[in-house]
Structure 1
Amino acid sequence: MVPMSAALAADAPSPAVAGVPAAPRPRNRIAVSTYSFWRFLENSKIPVDKCIEHAAAMGFDGVEILHRQMDSEDNAALQSLKQTALREGVDLCGFSIHQGYVSPDPDVRQKNIDHTIKCIELAYAMGIPTMRLNTGRWNTTKSFDDLMKNRGVEPRLEGYTDDDGFKWCIDSIEKCLKKAGECGVTMGLENHWGLGLTPEGVLRIVDAIKSPWLQVTADTGNFLEDPYDRLAKLAPRTCYIQAKTYFGGGTWYTLDLDYPRIADIFRKANYRGYVSLEFEGKEDWKTAIPKSLDVLRKAFS
């Protein structure tokens, strides 16, 4: 099967008319996640519509909406966000949700399947073409602070194996494919904690499902060791990039990421999609987000 990035982003576009030269390769468009304005900090939750306005004023091309940041799922509210983006001249390009399928309890898995399908419909209503998925994790480490101290690694649930977890994930995501295809929402499985901690784990699921509606969301900040080699493994299957910056120092860790090098990795894989900023530093977002945009613009131009 041809990877999505290769199928949709050949090295040069095919000319529409014989003899007409192909246009130069366009730069990657840069978005910002609404999470960048909030970062789950107490008393700093900014309404999504205001995030869209801030993003447009700063010069971003698009906005990724964090589902947990939304105040309403009413269709009128969804259409209002779409209208705000139209008025401000930015795309709603990504939808980031939280769910997990790593559970031996079929009722828990079904609850997360239902949540995923509902979120696909929300993305469709807002005209958003991509949606971030997680694998989920074993949840044997109850404190996220402890999980970070252990570099994202946690013990398996007693009596179960990684093979069990991967089967649960694969079976669950397969049940979401029909709705994704109906709505035209490409799900991007993120390299995150849990079974998605390694590129091999992410690709094991994506390759097993073999659907154009499941690809990869490549997060530049979630490989704490060897990020460049690991991102290179994901690049050919990537439909969306989340790019982290840490101005002011990160809450749990800080990575000194070489964005020109990262941009080159994805350029070689013919990635033409969005690069979405996830600012995770302690600096005031009013100064850190514009600085982050400058970093990403220069690297991915």
Structure 2
Amino acid sequence: MTLNRRNFARTAACAALAPAALAAAEPQASSKPQDSGGRRGNPIAVSTYSFWRFKDDSKLSIQQCIDEAARMGFDSVEILHIQMESEDPGYLQRLKQQAFINGLSLCGLSTHQGFVSPDAAVRQKNIDHTIHTIELAYQLGIPTMRVNTGRWGTSGSFDDLMANRGIEPSLPGYSDDDAFAWVIDSFEKCLPAAEKCGVTLGLENHWGLSRTPEGVLKIVDAIDSPWLQCTLDTGNFLEDPYDKLELMAPKTVFVQAKTYYGGGLWYSLDLDYDRIAAMLRQHDYRGFVSLEFEGEESYKTAIPKSLALLRNALNG
């Protein structure tokens, strides 16, 4: 065929129209992100507490816990602060390096503090401690830290508190309203350090004022900061846990999952992790779930069983 001027123009026009026609015939890509249908499961961590459980004969070092977590197949490790042997910078960096070499992250630091005291000096001591541990989390590269309200301390020992199902009376002359004001004020003084260090605080349902979801949320809602949210512990609501866990779920940034193989140290709960996992998915919780094994069985057998239980529920 002779490519004269008329044929050239016709050919060029067809060539220009061809991509448009092809695009019209194909499904158009949406500007909205599409769900691939392959939502990943939650990464599963283990708390170093799971290897110790305050038992006199089984306090593994953090280094040993990291090695065991890697061997058992966990994704990450949550560190219990009082289990640490040192706070020296060299020790902290060795922990970070050991986790890295084992292919693990350090996802959480679990701390203790108590702001339920009429003594301003006691509260300030706990504020200073909390800020200090926020800075430790920053040095370890840990993004979230479990925090507590503290409690009245009128029960005596923790065993007595557990015998009373976590309920204890206030100090004479004071009320829970006083205590909520102390706790809210104390956390507000910790938040600048949390924001500066990039460490999200997670207030756990952990006795004291945080024994109920309403108590946790009263504090979190009053402070109204992205740097104080919720750590949800599946084993700290002793009756009818599921509705209570769901109340906290929308503001949850970290989950601690209890198991009790061999019978619980203080109590045992028969938790339905399929139900809990479905609830977390409903609230689009994509974060870490950290195992807190709290039973009498040897950690060597109970922790792998617990990991399998959580994998099946959360990632099945």
C-alpha separation in 2, matches of 1:57 and 1:193: 33
1:79 matched to which residue of 2?
Answer: 93
> Residues 4-153 of structure 1 correspond to what in structure 2 (within 5 A)?
22=36, 24-153=38-167
Give 1:19 deviation, angstroms. Answer: 7.7
- Displacement after TM superposition at 1:24 (Å): 2.2
Q: How many angstroms apart in 1 are the aligned matches of 2:31 and 2:141?
A: 30
Q: Does 1:247 align with 2:252?
A: no
What is the rounded CA distance, in whole Å, between the counterparts of 2:33 and 2:172 in structure 1? 64
Structure 2 residue matching 1:176: 3-state secondary structure: helix
Rounded to whole Å, the distance in 2 between the matches of 1:17 and 1:115 is 48
Of 240-249 and 35-44, deviating more is 35-44
1:171 to partner: Cα distance:
0.2
- The AA in structure 1 aligned to 2:310 is L
Query: 2: CA distance between counterparts of 1:35 and 1:144?
Result: 17
Deviation, structure 1 residue 137? 0.3
The Cα offsets for residues 227-270 of structure 1, whole Å up to 9 and x where unpaired, read as 00100000000000000000000011000000000111111111
Counterpart Cα distance in 1 of 2:71 and 2:136: 25
CA 1:150 to 1:59, structure 2 compared with 1: closer, same or farther past 3 Å?
same
Q: Secondary structure at the match of 2:201?
A: strand
- The corresponding residue for 1:282 is 296
Q: 1:198 aligns with which of 189, 203, 212?
A: 212
Moved more, 262-271 or 281-290: 262-271
Check if 1:216 corresponds to 2:225: no
TM-score, normalised to structure 1, is 0.93
1:20–1:246 CA distance, 2 compared to 1 (3 A): closer
Distance between the aligned counterparts of 1:86 and 1:220, measured in 2? 28
Describe the shift of the 1:164–1:71 C-alpha distance in structure 2 as closer, same or farther (beyond 3 A). Answer: same
Instruction: Tell me what 1:259 maps to.
Output: 273
Question: How far does residue 26 in structure 1 lie from its aligned partner after superposition?
Answer: 1.0
State the partner residue of 1:7. Answer: none
Instruction: Specify whether residues 147 and 126 from structure 1 end up closer, same or farther in structure 2 by C-alpha distance, changes over 3 A only.
Output: same
Q: For each residue in 1:205-236, what CA deviation from the matched residue of structure 2 results, as whole angstroms up to 9, or x when unmatched?
A: 00000000000000000000110010000000
Q: Distance in 1 between matches of 2:280 and 2:115?
A: 29
Paired residue for 1:162, among 163, 173, 176? 176
Displacement of 1:25: 1.3
Q: Match for residue 188 of structure 1?
A: 202
TM-score, normalised to structure 2, is: 0.89
The aligned residue for residue 241 of structure 2 is 227
> In the TM superposition, what is the alpha-carbon distance from 1:43 to its structure 2 partner?
2.5
Q: 1:5 — aligned with what?
A: none
Superposition RMSD in Å: 1.4
1:10 match: none
Structure showing greater Rg: 2
Q: In the aligned structure 2, how far is the partner of 1:19 from the partner of 1:78?
A: 40
* Letter matched to residue 91 of structure 2: A
Q: Closer, same or farther in 2 for the Cα pair 1:70/1:16, shift >3 Å?
A: farther
Give CA-to-partner distance per residue, 1:51-110, whole Å, 9 cap, x none: 001001100000000000000000110000000000000110000001110000000000
Match of 2:187 in 1: 173
The 1-side partners of 2:49 and 2:150 are apart by 19
- Cα distance between partner residues in 2 of 1:248 and 1:45: 18
**Aligned-residue identity in percent:** 66
- Give the length in aligned residue pairs: 287
Shift of 1:44: 1.4
2: CA distance, partners of 1:55 / 1:247: 18
> Which consecutive aligned stretches of 4+ in structure 1 deviate over 6 angstroms post-superposition?
15-21
SS for the counterpart of 1:49 is helix
Q: Secondary structure at the match of 1:154?
A: coil
Taking structure 1 as reference, are residues 146 and 86 closer, same or farther at Cα in structure 2, changes over 3 Å only? same
Look up the SS of the partner of 1:175 in the other structure: helix
Q: Which has the higher contact order (CA 8 A, sep 6+)?
A: 1
2 CA distance for matches of 1:150 and 1:103? 21
Distance 2:242 2:34 in 1: 37
